[in-house]
Amino acid sequence: MSAPLTSLDRPNSYIGRSVPRPNAKRLLAGRGRYVSDLRLPRMLYAAFLRSPHAHAKIVSINTDEARKLEGVHLVAIGADLAKICTPWTGTLDHFKGMISAPQLPLPLDRVVWAGQAVVAVVAESRAIAEDALELIEVDYEDLPLVVDIDSARAAGGPVINPGSTNNICFRAQLDNGAVDDAFAHAAHVVEEEFSFGRHTAVTLEPRAIVADYDPAAGALTVHHATQTPYQFQDLYSRHYGIAEAHVRVVATDIGGSFGMKLHVYHEDMAVVGLSILLGRPVKYVADRIESFVSDIHARDHRVRARMALDAKGEILAMDVRDLTAIGAFSTYPRTSVVEGNQVIRLMGAPYRFKNYRATLEVIFQNKVQTSQYRAVGHPIACAVTERLVDMAAAKVGLDPFSIRAQNVIADDAYPQTSPTGYRFEALSHQACLKRLHELMDYDGLRAEQADLRKRGVYRGIGIAAFVEITNPSPAFYGVGGARISSQDGAILSVTPSGEVRCLISVTEQGQGTEAIISQIVADQLGIAQEHVKVITGDTEVTPHGGATWACRGAGIGGETALQATRALKRNILEIAALILQEQPSALDIINGEIVDAGTRNQRIPISEIARIAYFRSDTLPPGTQAQLTVSHHFAPQGYPFAFTNGIQGCSLEVDVETGFVKVLKHFIVEDCGRIINPMLVDEQLRGGIVQGLGAALFEECRYSETGQLVNGSLADYLVPMAMEMPDIVIAHVETPTADTVLGAKGVGEAGTAAASACVLNAVNDALTPFDATINSIPITPIKILKALKRF
Amino acid sequence: MDIEETAVKARAFSYFRAATIDQALDAHARAGDDARFIAGGQSLVPALSLRLQAPRLLIDITHIDEMRGVRREGGYLRIGALTRHCEMLSEPLVAEFAPLLHAAAPFVAHPAIRNRGTFGGSVALADPASEFPAMTLALDAEIEIVGPTGRRRVKADDFFLDLFETALQPGELITAIYVPLFKADQRFAFDELARRRGDYAMVGCGIMATCAGDRINDIRISFFSVGNTPTRVKGAEATLIGSSLDAERIAAAQAALEGDLAPPDSDEVPPAMRLHLARVLLGRLLGRLGESA
């Protein structure tokens, strides 16, 4: 099924080839340079005193003893930083009517979640700063709490934001077609209420920042473990009143991000202010507990949904209500409503029905903020849709594969619009379904399941089709007024030795961005990959761009690199043509050599062109100015998003006595368009699936009735580990997007999008012999045992 | 050594490395109560980092020879307190004479923790969710304690008093654990129910039985993760002594757990669920024990 753009036999044809990541060896050898490794001269260390209360008035703060401690340089409270930092508000214009209270680095008079930073101490070591924290006295006065969705919505209950009449952040509605009519005439209706627990990213490297303000130059340098250095350059500039050109954000090696490292965090903003106040570098690295109580969380949805079908199992309509609780603020600058918005817009996405209605209510509560995390909204929309499809299949008497085959949009029917209004260029549900059926030996698994059931072994088989949003255009954030770029930029230079340096705005967090960019440049120019050096993540050096989020690195960053390389190649061939007295069109580049396009006979190496251009320009014809550096920007046009699709399958076993679930094998057939590096694509899928399985079975931020996170450690918050993870079998269908030359779409979130839905369906399939169903994620032993009424 | 300033978060403390037990006891006495013995540090170091504990002095006992080594001594296997968890897996004497400990060892946390954590440290901490303290109960082991008032041996049955509370007095050390040698007429079984391999179990159990053919002459069943201490279930034991392990007896033992256990309140594992899991686990282990006849 591989799309024919290049022949892998051609020299330098790296697109489509599993080449190792150039930076992998450096990282494996422990030569990575993370922000946590950084030590600058005169650097100080920040620590934060955090609120033990989920909602309380700050009556007084006594920092006298802390200030006296030897080695303490600064103790700052909310008012100190409010003098130099303007407040921020996490709303966007295209979410009509949404509200959120202004935020500051540290609160002035009220705390709104347990774990919120209240006082900052800067000292000569982190340990001294922590000693000083123990000497600070804060007098709090408890305020009424809002910790769950029901109490947040209760009439007359406590309200988090003063001046508001309720705890609603945002409401949205979609109503397409004739939903009531479809339900009135349906032969079958299935309905369920689902709940999805909060979880969080748990990156290996926690959030880390070193802010370094130089008062003499009026310049701020921030070494920041972030996915989006340009966004933060803009934010630090505007909120601290420093010209953008005097703000430099450097994001070098990053130990995982998953969407968590592109939001404004109060501590990070505070550290910039602390450095400005002190005129010295200040470092802050969140420890694991701090990460749990201050990194964004995600999910936390309660969805009631129903689906109408005709007698043959044709889906007629869906009707959905999503309630989601986000914390006391909407996150800045991307808001906390994007997840809910995507939940209601991704429902039913693989299927061709047209009648759809949804309401979304986004609610404030006294917990840490939620926001975008890998596969924003997708797992919820997918789990709800796919579980309803399975319930419908059971009701109509169809096999899960059959009902999906009957209802997915046909591969030859594109372009199409989803029931919720998304425009699809070209997807491949039918091909993926067919391939998965073979790949998992579905009939064999069913036979084995029936056989084992007789012996009291309960296996479950689940499948889940999905659609993923990738390559977002300005329709995502730009239209809402966010200064978040959807374009990327690249600067390519030929070195005097004939190698290529590529400075590009997409960033590397361990997923191999730099590898695929070097593959594209080498492929398109015709040089060996090891002669391409890719440089990312420094606003002083790399051009402004969107960087890496929402699965845009390969599709948008890759196309930027491709177009820039083609421009550089034209320039090289122009100079070569002058030197060789040929037409540029008669020449090509293979393996670093200029060749005759027709015969491929070698004429002159690029290194010789570079030597002449840089050192012997006197030998070129008069008037010639060699341009061996090009800069190029690319913004996606055409479809607002490049949607991808795929289907996952899962085989698992439920121990009906203990409620334990063992995932035996997981499968995915995925279509991300042009595959640049199959190995990296497969590992993105595997990593994404593992995160989805974590969500399905293990991960949940659990809170007490008083709003305390009760499992803020890696002993209590269970992330998926190797022993519990199954083999993951991967296959591909390739439907390149025609919106770009490269044809690549994103792949980083596809695994996470459907893995939990797949497990949900498989667990319910395993429980078929019992009068028991599961409608809540994560699927824990207690939920299964309760459903089975075992205690 | 140049310590990264950002990494050290414990409150400042003094450190003393003891070469002998006397040195360790003496150092502790001189520091008053404000000292902790440290061996593997797998529980103490996180507690220091979290500032849950902040002693003025840490006394490193890992270089005390007398507390090392595994050897036969009379009818016992003497396991030095400093024996690391990983040695419980690799030491042939443990596999031969204390096979229950050998069977439990792979369930103790993860390899990196097993490389440093010590048997004596685990027993001294008496975490009710840990495998080894509970196994000392099943094994009818004796714990050798040395302190300012001298040396004594305490039966495991008398050692675990309450949550993280043991017969150890301030300033006392465990030097060794004495485990009765495994005999030909004995059988054992171990398992636990943990969400992930290496996690603290939701419930776990180890069993030592002395049999005459199918008949159980004596049995000791010890659970962990069921309450404030490792817990022997004497009611269940009583239903089995003098019987063979048939389905009816196993069911009776499972039923007896309701009287033996009073699991703590917990959102994730409410008492009724933990009791259910304990019954399931006991049933499975007794089934295995029956099969190994």
What CATH number belongs to A24-32+487-634? 3.30.365.10
Across A694-698, B67-71, B264-268, least confident range: B264-268
- Residue A130 pLDDT > 60, yes or no? yes
How far apart, in whole angstroms, are the C-alpha atoms of residue A728 and residue A667?
Answer: 6
Query: What does the H/E/C string look like for A78-135?
Result: HHHHHCCCCCECCCCCCCCCCCCCCECCCCCCEECCCCCEEEEEEECCHHHHHHHHCC
Same domain, B80 and B135: yes
Contact B11 A127 (CB under 8 A): yes
Is A77 a residue whose pLDDT tops 80?
Answer: yes
Kindly report the three-state secondary structure assignment for every residue of A52-84. Answer: CCCCEEEEEEECHHHHHCCCEEEEECHHHHHCC
In terms of domains, do B137 and B89 share one?
yes
Mean pLDDT of A216-229: 97
Which of A724, A781, A791 lies at the smallest CB-CB distance from B272? Answer: A791
pLDDT at B121: 98
Residues of B whose CB is below 8 A from A130: 9, 11, 51
CB contact (8 A) between residue B267 and residue A710: yes
Q: What is the mean pLDDT of chain B?
A: 95
Omega cis (within 30) before A333: yes
Residues B174 and B74 in one domain: yes
Q: Which of A462, A517, A563 is nearest to A774 (CA)?
A: A462
The pLDDT value recorded for residue B14 is 96
Confidence of residue B100 (pLDDT cuts 50, 70, 90): very high
The per-residue pLDDT for B2 is 44
pLDDT at residue B8, rounded to an integer:
66
C-beta atoms surrounding A187 within 10 Å: 14
**pLDDT value of residue A684:** 96
What are residue A283's phi and psi, to 5 degrees? -115, 140
Confidence of residue A117 (pLDDT cuts 50, 70, 90): very high
Please give the order of strands across the beta sheet that includes B186-193: B186-193, B203-212, B215-224, B231-232
Is residue A415 very low, low, confident or very high in pLDDT (cuts 50, 70, 90)? Answer: very high
Decide if B220 is inside a domain.
yes
Mutate to test the interface with A, among B5, B52, B203, B275 (most CBs of A within 10 A): B5
Query: The tokens of A84 are what?
Result: 């130099």
Structural domain containing residue B154: 66-180
Residue A590 pLDDT > 70 = yes
3-state SS, residue A188: strand
Q: What is the C-alpha R_g of chain A?
A: 28
At A484, which amino acid appears? I
CATH number for the domain spanning B40: value is 3.30.43.10
Residues from A in contact with B at Cβ < 8 Å: 36, 39, 45, 124-127, 130-131, 134, 283, 285, 287, 289, 657-658, 660, 698, 702, 710, 715, 718, 720-721, 723-724, 780-782, 785, 790-791
% of chain A with per-residue pLDDT over 70: 99
CB atoms within 10 A of CB A107: 20
**Cβ within 8 Å, pair B6-A287:** no
- Enter the CATH code of domain A35-143+202-294: 3.90.1170.50
Residues B147, B220, single domain; the answer is: no
Q: Do B9 and A785 touch (CB under 8 A)?
A: no
Contacts by residues A534-537 (CB-CB < 8 Å, ≥ 24 positions apart): A534/A22, A534/A502, A534/A504, A535/A501, A535/A502, A535/A503, A535/A504, A536/A503, A536/A504, A536/A505, A536/A506, A536/A507, A536/A508, A537/A229, A537/A250, A537/A251, A537/A252, A537/A254, A537/A507, A537/A508
Compute the distance between CA of residue B37 and CA of residue A230 in angstroms, rounded to an integer.
51
Sheet with B14-17, side-by-side order of all strands = B14-17, B57-60, B35-38
- What integer pLDDT is reported at residue A11 of this predicted model? 80
Same domain, B45 and B81: no
Q: Which of A547, A473, A539 is nearest to A505 (CA)?
A: A547
B150 within a domain of the structure (yes/no) = yes
pLDDT at A580 over 50: yes
Q: Do B195 and A127 touch (CB under 8 A)?
A: no
Which uninterrupted H or E stretch holds A573?
helix A558-580
Asked if the Cβ–Cβ distance from B196 to A721 is below 8 Å, we say yes
Instruction: Tell me the C-alpha to C-alpha distance, in Å, between residue B205 and each of A790, B266, B290.
Output: 20, 19, 16
Write the pLDDT tens digit of every residue in B30-83.
998 799 999 999 999 999 998 999 999 999 999 999 999 999 999 999 999 999
> What are the structure tokens assigned to A342, written together?
């995507």
Section B237-252 average pLDDT: 96
- Do domains A35-143+202-294 and A373-472+640-787 share one topology? The answer is no
Average pLDDT, rounded, for chain A: 96
pLDDT over 50 at A178, yes or no: yes
Chain B nearest-CA distance from A594, in A, is: 52
State yes or no: pLDDT of B134 exceeds 60: yes
Domain identity same for B217 and B284: yes
Digit-coded pLDDT (tens) for A775-791: 999 999 999 999 999 99
Residues 149-168 of chain B whose Cβ lies under 8 A from any Cβ of chain A: none
Residue with tokens 């006298």: A64
| List of E strands, chain B | 14-17, 35-38, 57-60, 70-73, 76-80, 142-147, 150-155, 160-162, 165-166, 173-180, 186-193, 203-212, 215-224, 231-232
> In this model, does residue B293 exceed pLDDT 80?
no
Give B54's contacts in chain A (Cβ within 8 Å).
none
Query: Is B172 in the same domain as B202?
Result: no
Torsion of CA A689, A690, A692, A696, to 10 degrees: 130
What DSSP character marks residue A709?
Answer: B
On whether the CB atoms of residues B85 and B118 are closer than 8 A, the answer is yes
Distance between CA A445 and CA B116 in Å, rounded?
A: 44
Contact A723 B195 (CB under 8 A): no
Instruction: Break chain A into its structural domains and give their ranges.
Output: 24-32+487-634, 35-143+202-294, 373-472+640-787
Name the pLDDT band for A2 (thresholds 50, 70, 90): very low
Pairing label, strands A117-123, A44-50: antiparallel
Bond from prior residue into A105 cis (ω within 30 degrees of 0) = no
A29 min Cα distance to partner chain B (Å):
20
Q: Nearest by CB to B9, which of A39, A126, A720?
A: A126
Question: Which is it for strands B165-166 and B160-162: parallel, antiparallel or unpaired?
Answer: antiparallel
Alpha helix (H) residue ranges in A581-698: 606-615, 678-697
Question: Hey, what are B52's tokens?
Answer: 């849950």
Task: For A624-648, give one letter per residue: b (16+ CB within 10 A) or e.
Answer: eebebebebbbbbeebbbbbbbbbb
Q: Above 70 in pLDDT, residue B4?
A: no
Contacts of A723 in chain B (CB under 8 A): 196-198
CATH T-level fold of A373-472+640-787: Aldehyde Oxidoreductase; domain 4 (3.30.365)
What are phi and psi for residue A320, nearest 5 degrees?
-135, 140
Residue A415: is the preceding peptide bond cis (ω within 30°)?
A: yes
Establish if B219 belongs to a structural domain: yes
**Confidence at B205, pLDDT banded by 50, 70, 90:** very high
Band of residue A262 on the pLDDT scale cut at 50, 70, 90: very high
Q: Given this model, what pLDDT does residue B9 score?
A: 82
Residues A636, A639, A745: CA angle, nearest 5 degrees: 65
How far, in Å, CA of A520 to CA of A492, rounded?
12
B6 vs A126: CB contact, 8 Å cut-off?
yes
Question: For the segment A609-618, what is each residue's pLDDT rounded down to a tens digit?
Answer: 999 999 999 9
The reply to whether B211 falls in a domain is yes
Domain presence at residue B24: yes
Q: Which residue of A has its CA nearest to B273?
A: A791
Distance between CA atoms of A378 and A747, rounded to whole angstroms? 13
pLDDT for B3 beyond 60 = no
Residues in A touching B6 (Cβ below 8 Å): 36, 45, 125-126, 283, 285
For residue A102, give the amino acid letter: P
Sign, CA torsion B107/B109/B115/B117: negative
Residues B97, B42, single domain; the answer is: no
Spatial neighbors of B287 by CB under 8 A, at least 6 apart, are B245, B250
Q: Would residue B39 count as lying in a domain?
A: yes
Domain count of chain B? Answer: 3
Q: Are B64 and B19 within 8 A, CB to CB?
A: yes
Global pTM value: 0.96
Taking CB atoms and an 8 Å cutoff, what residues of chain B touch A710? 267
For residues B203 and B226, is the Cβ–Cβ distance under 8 A? yes
SS3 B70: strand
B6 is a domain residue: no
Q: Does B272 touch chain A (CB under 8 A)?
A: yes
Task: Indicate the range of A473-487, B126-140, B190-204, B252-266 predicted with least confidence.
Answer: A473-487
Q: Looking at the predicted structure, is the pLDDT value of residue B1 above 50?
A: no
Calpha distance B225→B203 (Å, rounded): 5
pLDDT of residue B7: 60
Q: How confident is the model at residue B165 (pLDDT cuts 50, 70, 90)?
A: very high
Query: Would residue B241 count as lying in a domain?
Result: yes
Q: Does B278 touch chain A (CB under 8 A)?
A: no
Last residue of a domain, one of B147, B180, B213: B180
> Both tokens of residue A297?
């969380």
